[in-house]
Amino acid sequence: MSIVDKVKQMLGQHSDKAKQGVEKAGDMFDQRTGGKHADKVDRVQDQAGSYIDRESGRPGGAGGQAEGPSGQPGGAGGQPGGTGGPPS
């Protein structure tokens, strides 16, 4: 079994945690760059979430709707960025 197959298997088993990790990484990147690339980061977060949904067997269209374009996870329990969110 190749590393790619192992990653896909883990995504299928832990897709919610993988999506939380993508959101957290993007938010950290936004914070460290002062939000200079927030629009691109949000787009990548959305695309990564759709990919995770596809690979885990979830419908990509409906799963991507749960998170808004602001990059806020829908009830994931994570910190939404507090007061340091990037301007839109």
Distance CA 20, CA 45 (A): 10
Is residue 18 in some structural domain?
yes
- Which pLDDT score, from 0 to 100, does residue 55 have? 82
- 57 Cβ contact list (under 8 Å, min separation 6): 12
Mean pLDDT of the chain, nearest integer: 75
Structural domain contains residue 67: no
Per-residue pLDDT averaged across 44-60, rounded? 84
**pLDDT (mean) for 40-55:** 92
Most confident of 1-5, 11-15, 46-50: 46-50
* Residue 71: inside a domain: no
What pLDDT score does 1 carry? 82
Is 66 part of a structural domain of the chain? no
How far is 85 from 88, CA to CA, in rounded Å? 9
Contact (Cβ atoms closer than 8 angstroms) between residue 19 and residue 49: yes
Domain membership flag for residue 49: yes
Residue 81 lies in a domain: no
Residue 80, domain member (yes or no): no
Q: Is residue 52 part of a domain?
A: yes
* Containing structural domain, residue 20: 3-60
Number of domains in the chain: 1
| Structural tokens at position 43 | 């787009």
Banded pLDDT at 72 (limits 50, 70, 90): very low
